[in-house]
Each structure stands twice: as structure tokens, then as C-alpha cells.
Amino acid sequence: MAEAIHDIDIRGLYKIFGPNGAAHVADVKAGMTKDELKEKYDHVLGLDDINLTIPAGRIQVVMGLSGSGKSTLIRHINRLIEPTVGEIMFDGQDVVRMSQQQLRDFRRQKTAMVFQKFALFPHRTVMENTTYGLNIRGVSSNQAKERARYWIERVGLKGFEESYPNQLSGGMQQRVGLARALTNDAEILLMDEAFSALDPLIRMDMQSVLLDLQEELRKTIIFITHDLDEALRLGDRIAILRAGRIVQEGTGEQIVLRPKDDYIADFVREVSRGKVLKVGTITRRGVTVESPVTLPADVILEEAARTMTNAEYGRANVADASGKVIGSVTLAKVVAEMIAPDDSDDSLSQTDQALSA
């Protein structure tokens, strides 16, 4: 399968909906608000100076309340919506300036989209829906079916190849949408509130499926959601939008522990620290202990506490992704950080250093 190697760089992106949007970019740059633009010129500000680097092979979550611009943003990446001004750079090319043929090739070969409402053809079987993109690209029927069969099985739908969408549950239909996107072997997956129409348990199951597949595939995934718990579970990085602007962007830990303003603080107020904070962030670096327990640095505190409790051991070493031990933690420290932050200068300094690393 293709390996994602290209960042997506979005620079100075504006979208003003209306017959003469370009004429009002200068007004927005000068400080005109969304409400003022609507009242004075009857134009709608969709995106306001978006600058964002989406790292290759990672899951970039974009979240915000209804009307914040998140779905507008994702549709700019494959130019389903034309920007007013700005750049979207990928592999040395500006998507905004691609010709129609270049854009067609980019959409077919480099991107795949998974929609909230599944967007399956009701008169086509699971197999036919999954091979649709490859058929459009001219891939032979046998090769398309072989690739589709592989991904249908990987998303847990083996045996349903000849079923129709109306014979499947919502979660199963979304698995078809995911299989279709993966069958295209696109470098970029665009997922617009892909799981929000699903029941909570099915939604969590689909999140697990996506994370398991991403561990292997390392696609560049842009995932839109309005749900903070989903954002924190899935996102390597999270960008929070408000009125078309990025208010804060960073890792889940950075956003939860260091909210930029009151708006972000309100978003994260009820978040469980134990589900977000990773053990590497509170590790006592360079200090090892005698313990049968070694925790991965990227494990969340809730899981770390469970592991140490089950092992009936009050301390553990911590290892980085390569397996090298980098320090240690105590169960008492893990539990304390889950309940409330340690406001001592040393603790805050340690946490800040870890978050900025």
C-alpha cells in the first residue's frame, strides 16, 4: 500500500460566501467580524485566515461547534469548495491552482472521502460500492475485486460482499464507506463527521477500527467532528475552529492542559485528564526503578493506573517508542495527576517541557 509522505500546508486561506467575496477579503483582514460582514455586505465569512500544517501519516482532527467552518475547511482540501484566496500545498503543488484535469487526477488518485451519511449507492452491492472508485480509474475488474475483497475483510464485512446497503446496519454501511476509501489506496483520507450518525457503541467501535488500521497504514487523515471525546481519542493533533478561525491547534494534551482562552477552557472543562494525559508527560526522566512493570510513554494515565494496579506494584519504568527506558513513574503520581494537576513549579515546568517536546 502507498505510504503517506507529504504534509499538507494550508496558508492564508479565506472563504467568503457571496457574489463578490474577493472584494471583501481586505475588510476581513482589517478586522471586520463575521457578523459585521453579513450585516453590511450580506456575505458570509466561512474561513478566516486558516494557516495549518497537517503532518503526513497522522490524524489531524478539526473540530468546532456548528457553523465554525470545519466542514467548509475539509472541502477545500480537495476543492469541492473553491477558496476565495489562499494556498493548499501538497507534494509541491497548490491545489487551488490546479487545472481541472490535475484536480480530477488529484481527487481520484490522492484523496478519498468518507461522509457522515455513508453516500453509498443503494442499487449497488457492498462489492460494487467498494470497487466504484477503482472502476472510474480504469482498474481491471478482477484487480478491483481483489483489492476490494481484502479491505472488505479488514473492516469486518467478509461474507457481506453481495449485500445491499438497505440490508446493513448503520455501522456496517459506514464500514463499506471506509473500505471504499481504503480500496482506492489514497494518501489522504477526508472524513467529514464520518461517525456522528452512529449510535455511541457503534461509534466507539468504528473509532477502534480506524485507529487499528491507521497503526498499520499511516495515512494522512483529516477528521471532522464536533465531539471533543472523539477528537481526543483519534487526533494526533487537534485544531479547534470558531467563526472560521483556528482558535488553538496542538496535541490533545496541550489543548486540555494549556487552553489558550476561555472559549477553549469551556470546551475542555469536563474532560477526564486520565483519558488524555500520557504517562510520558509526567515521567521522572532519567530515574529508573526496580519494577516488573514497564509502561509505554504514550499510554494514557487511566490505562497506566490500571496496569500498575493489576500488577500490584506502585512504581513502573517508562519506555519510549523504541523500547528504551527513559524514566519512571509512581502509581501515586499517576492517580494524583488524574484527579487534579500538581501546581508546584517543578511539576508545571516538567509538564510544559514534555508538552513542547
The pLDDT assigned to 310 comes to 95
Report the alpha-carbon distance of residue 80 to residue 125 in Å, rounded. 26
pLDDT digits (tens, 9 = 90+) for 265-302: 988 888 888 888 999 999 999 999 999 999 999 999 99
pLDDT band at 160 (very low <50, low <70, confident <90, very high): very high
Write out the three cell numbers for 174: 459506514
Residue 308 has pLDDT above 80, yes or no: yes
Half-sphere exposure of 64 (CA within 13 A, CB side): 23
Domains in the chain, please, with CATH?
8-110+186-268 (3.40.50.300), 274-356 (3.90.1280.20)
Residues in contact with 151: Cβ distance below 8 Å, sequence separation at least 6, in sequence order: 130, 179, 182, 183
Residue 3 has pLDDT above 80, yes or no: no
Question: Both ends of the chain: CA-CA distance in Å?
Answer: 31
pLDDT digits (tens, 9 = 90+) for 92-101: 999 999 999 9
User: Which backbone phi and psi does 224 adopt, to 5 degrees?
Assistant: -95, 135
CB pairs under 8 A, 24+ apart, for 129-134? 129/165, 129/176, 129/180, 130/176, 130/179, 130/180, 130/183, 131/183, 132/180, 133/108, 133/180, 133/183, 133/184, 134/183, 134/184
**Amino acid, single-letter form, for residue 308:** M
Half-sphere exposure of 149 (CA within 13 A, CB side): 7
Report the alpha-carbon distance of residue 179 to residue 157 in Å, rounded. 9
Helices (runs of H) and strands (runs of E) counted in the chain: 14, 14
Residue 237 has pLDDT above 60, yes or no: yes
Provide the whole-model pTM: 0.84
pLDDT digits (tens, 9 = 90+) for 50-85: 999 999 999 999 999 888 999 999 999 999 999 999
**Helical ranges in the chain per DSSP H:** 25-29, 34-41, 70-77, 100-109, 126-136, 141-154, 170-183, 200-217, 228-234, 252-257, 262-268, 301-310, 331-339, 345-356
Q: 301-310 vs 331-339: helix axis angle to the nearest 10?
A: 140
